[in-house]
Structure 1
């Protein structure tokens, strides 16, 4: 395990817990990719990644991350979280998330997030539409 990659994970995770899209984007490489694999195109570059993160916090303002498991290598980490909170529609948000993250020169090069899409759509949809 790489201590440097583990330290980057800790800093990056702290930014997500603090709901700080600016700091999240700063920890990505300039040409980084963030892809939430739930039907939309990947965000490319720090500005787009910042907007993607901010949008997530807008949808679930009290989003919390409960760590289930973490594996760290020299230039990657794989992490599983249970995400909880309340969506702007008022629904309870309780979703499984797995992230695969590639690291380059001490920054996030690619972040691929895989979620329980059915649970996510049910939680963020306006009441009565799902």
Structure 2
């Protein structure tokens, strides 16, 4: 995957050199490096991001940027990529969130939660919608063990 932190110029998916796999590679760098500006630079202005954990969807670039800042400050998670499927205007990513936590007694443990992303892309090569689904049983068990409330606050 790409590791250069410079934001490549958007050329749109009409450019055969840029497909959804290449867009995903650039996009994933933003998540790996915890860079909200890079992430939102690859989203459309009217984007929707929805973590399906009972929370409301996030609408628009600036709201997504603020959401990412909060998530990155609260959760120092990393990724294990499992499987990716790419289409002309979408990708589906199966991954595992790896999250170092402490239980309610203060003992460290590592939570592992299976995740699934479904991402829509427009003709300009921008992410228009990202739906993130988490394994409910795994996330509830991990967050309960850590004494962390999830979903709408």
Please classify the TM superposition score into its range, dividing by the shorter chain length. Answer: 0.7 to 0.9
Give the distance between the partners of 1:64 and 1:129, measured in 2 at CA.
18
| Residue equivalent to 1:80 | 94
Contact 2:118–2:132 (8 Å) recurs in 1: yes
Give the distance between the partners of 2:68 and 2:143, measured in 1 at CA.
15
Deviation at 1:92, TM superposition (A): 2.4
| Unaligned residue ranges in structure 1 (runs of 5+) | none
Give the distance between the partners of 1:94 and 1:53, measured in 2 at CA.
20
| Unaligned residue ranges in structure 2 (runs of 5+) | 1-15
SS of the aligned residue for 1:51 comes to helix
| Residue equivalent to 1:24 | 39
CA spacing shift, 1:125–1:35, aligned 2, 3 Å: same
Compare the two structures and name the one with the higher helix fraction: 1
Q: How many residues align?
A: 128
Provide the TM-score with structure 2 as the length reference.
Answer: 0.74
Which aligned runs of 4 or more in structure 1 are off by greater than 6 angstroms? none
Compare the two structures and name the one with the higher strand fraction: 1
Cα RMSD, aligned residues only: 2.2
Which has the greater radius of gyration?
Answer: 2
Give the distance between the partners of 2:73 and 2:101, measured in 1 at CA.
9
